[in-house]
Amino acid sequence: MTEPTANLMPKPIDVIPHRDPFLFVDEVTSFEDGVIKGVWRLTGEEPFFAGHFPGRPTLPGVLMCEAIAQLGAVAILSDEQFAGTIPLFGGIDKARFRRQVVPGDTLVLEAELGRMSARAGKATGRAHVDGEVAVELGLLFVMAPA
């Protein structure tokens, strides 16, 4: 898999098709040896906080999973061999939520690509806040035409 040099981290908005309000990776911070890292800064202005939950805003766990998958998609689509495709969820394995994430938190994301083929791939991911694990999971990607 072709990876960028340290000075040229891919910008998520330039690589994956997601857009506001459903782009959850603000920045890629590193990408080497099949491991990509990034961040999602939660301001509290995100619309889901108003309803999840009133008086106790909490980031939905499924959105943490989505953020990790988006980061993995940045890694996959940064490789020219996957041009013209889009990685879709094929499955989520063993997701474990370990910490509440609230407005003002910075979610540090990590995805490690596993076996990849032209049709599918696997990854593992995790997200941290202040060094504490918020979620860990396995991902299965299915490659579809873009």
Number of neighbouring beta carbons within 10 Å of residue 46: 16
Residue 52 falls in the annotated catalytic set: yes
Q: Name the DSSP letter for residue 10.
A: P
List, in sequence order, the alpha helices (H) in the chain.
Answer: 12-15, 48-51, 61-77
Which single residue is written with the structure tokens 């939660």?
Answer: 42
Report the amino acid identity of residue 146: A
- Residue from 18, 52, 99, 108 carrying the catalytic annotation: 52
- Are the CB atoms for 139 and 68 separated by under 8 Å? yes
Which residues are catalytically annotated?
52
